[in-house]
Structure 1
Amino acid sequence: MFRNYFILLLLAHIIGDFYIQTNKMARKKEKEISWVLIHSLCYLAVMLIVTLPVMSVTLIVGVTIAAIFHCLIDVFKFIYISHIRKRGRFSLIIDRNVFFTDQILHSLVLLGISYWLANGNLPISLNIIFRNFLNVIGIPGKQIMSWLFAILVIHKPTNIAISKFLLNYKPEDYNVKEDRKAGRYIGTVERIIMLIFIYINQYSAIGLVLTAKSIARYERITKEEHFAEYYLLGTLISTLIAIIVSFVF
């Protein structure tokens, strides 16, 4: 039950904090406190909408608490970033550290709320409308939620996390624009294929995916040591995330 609550809340968090929040909104959040509050209201709305199929009074309380803590964390982040910028010490490394600290704190809040909900022995029961719909199409609700969670996690959140993690290792002549056009989508497709192979117990087939990806960069990998290390590290992190998500999923 704890796992189901956590995946449900984490799914809502991912949609509200990554997909509803655009890059433009994220930049405005760092400059104006009003945008932090606007984002928090949007986040609460997304949390309520995502949990609508299993809505209960206790769950409403839980997602409201999650949204309040989300707002508080973002406010403290805004204050910290504003302070760092005024002192002229803001850098990409600080931005990376703030990002990961922010997401860890949000995850800890969701873990605590999930534990509280599960500890209260509150079962997750689908609304009759959604239950009838799933009965008609013949797909279990948990399976839909798990697949949706897995796909959303391994796309935008993972691409952002990997790009920020690799800031220190990026070669000086690396083409950032080229990466934004195709590299991130290649990584997403790669992880989706890995998930499918893991799901059908075809673990050895994952090697074919990694081989196909390496062929496209073979010439540069063999000639540039720094790029080879950067490429290998990114690929290994991407693979690790796909495996971790498959375990949760």
Structure 2
Amino acid sequence: MPLVTEILQHPVFVALLSCHFLSDYHLQNQSMADQKERDKKVLAKHLAHVFWPLLVVGIVVPSLYRQLLLVFISHALIDFLKPSVKKMLKLSDSLTFTLDQLLHIAIIVSVTWHVLTDGIALTNPILPWADGLRLVLFFLMITKPANVVFRVYFSKYQPSKVVWKNGQIDQKKDEHVTMQGAGATIGNLERIVMGICIYFGQFASIGLVFTAKSIARYNKISEDPAFAEYYLIGSLFSILSVLIASWLCFII
């Protein structure tokens, strides 16, 4: 078995990556993500959210305490130094986000590789839960992290309408009336339904999800080409994110 595949299938990698997605996305809202760069108290609160999932893993697998401590310290250092590095190198938000996530995941990969090469013994309780952990990781990946990734990389395609302000054209984001957070919730639900369909091998059922979604937005799609393109980008991204997550969690 190739080393990369062995690392990705290892329960330590799955557990640590689950901890990362849980603490960096599901337990952290956008306000906290923005404020932690300026307010050390908010950063400390975020690091507490990073700590307790790792603590749970440490309780289940005490032999990993050194590796878990390394993951926590590296996470703290990356988040502490990120604002300074971003300002010094004049990095864009999307590039900063990318490098931040790659560093966190690289640390997790290196820790798993260390566990493999050093032959660190795992306690029995984690092994029977390996398949369950992969399922948990799958749903952690396709929900809020997918929403954040889409917002970071594709928000520039969000439709805008032209309005006049002080005699000049002023571009504003599309302000069609929707409930706050409805779009993110719809995205989460459609990816969860797709994930369930893929898990049980009901691939044809995925089409029903987008049929229902398209019916609800039919008027907007038919009347606004820019919105239709944005809608298509979002739909294709949802499909791609679920397929990639299912490949990583169930096929490799």
TM-score bucket of the superposed structures, by smaller chain? 0.7 to 0.9
Is 2:14 the partner of 1:7? yes
1:31 deviates by 1.1
Match of 2:50 among 25, 33, 43: 43
Residues 60-113 of structure 1 deviation map (CA, whole Å, 9 limit, x = unaligned):
1111111111112112212135568xxxx89xxx32332222112211111111
Q: What SS does the aligned partner of 2:178 have?
A: helix
1:198 deviates by 1.1
2:224 corresponds to: 224
1:178 deviates by 2.9
> What residue identity is the alignment partner of 1:222?
S
105 and 180 in structure 1: CA distance in 2 versus 1, 3 angstrom threshold = farther
Is 2:176 the partner of 1:171? no
Match of 1:153 among 121, 126, 141: 141
1:119 corresponds to: 117
Comparing 75-84 and 220-229, the one that deviates more: 75-84
Is 2:67 the partner of 1:62? yes
1:224 & 1:126 partners in 2: Cα distance? 57
> What residue identity is the alignment partner of 1:111?
V
1:134 corresponds to: none
> What residue identity is the alignment partner of 2:202?
Q
> What residue identity is the alignment partner of 2:74?
F
Match of 1:16 among 9, 17, 23: 23
Higher helix share: 1
Q: What SS does the aligned partner of 1:192 have?
A: helix
2:153 & 2:16 partners in 1: Cα distance? 25
Q: CA RMSD in A?
A: 2.5
CA contact 1:190–1:209 (8 Å) conserved in 2: yes
1:16 deviates by 1.6
1:24 deviates by 3.5
TM-score of the aligned structures, taking structure 2 as reference length: 0.81
* Unaligned segments of structure 2, at least 5 residues: 1-5, 161-172
- Name the count of aligned residue pairs: 230
Question: Which structure 1 residue ranges, 4+ long, deviate > 6 Å from structure 2?
Answer: none
Q: What SS does the aligned partner of 2:181 have?
A: helix
Q: What SS does the aligned partner of 2:119 have?
A: coil
Q: What SS does the aligned partner of 1:168 have?
A: helix
CA contact 1:43–1:67 (8 Å) conserved in 2: yes
CA contact 1:14–1:153 (8 Å) conserved in 2: yes
1:248 corresponds to: 248
Q: What SS does the aligned partner of 1:178 have?
A: coil
CA contact 2:37–2:80 (8 Å) conserved in 1: no
**1:64-213 superposed matches below 5 A:** 64-81=69-86, 94-127=92-125, 140-172=128-160, 173-175=173-175, 178=178, 180-213=180-213
Residues 134-183 of structure 1 deviation map (CA, whole Å, 9 limit, x = unaligned):
xxxxxx52232122211222111111111221121111142487374311
CA contact 1:29–1:78 (8 Å) conserved in 2: no
1:22 & 1:181 partners in 2: Cα distance? 12
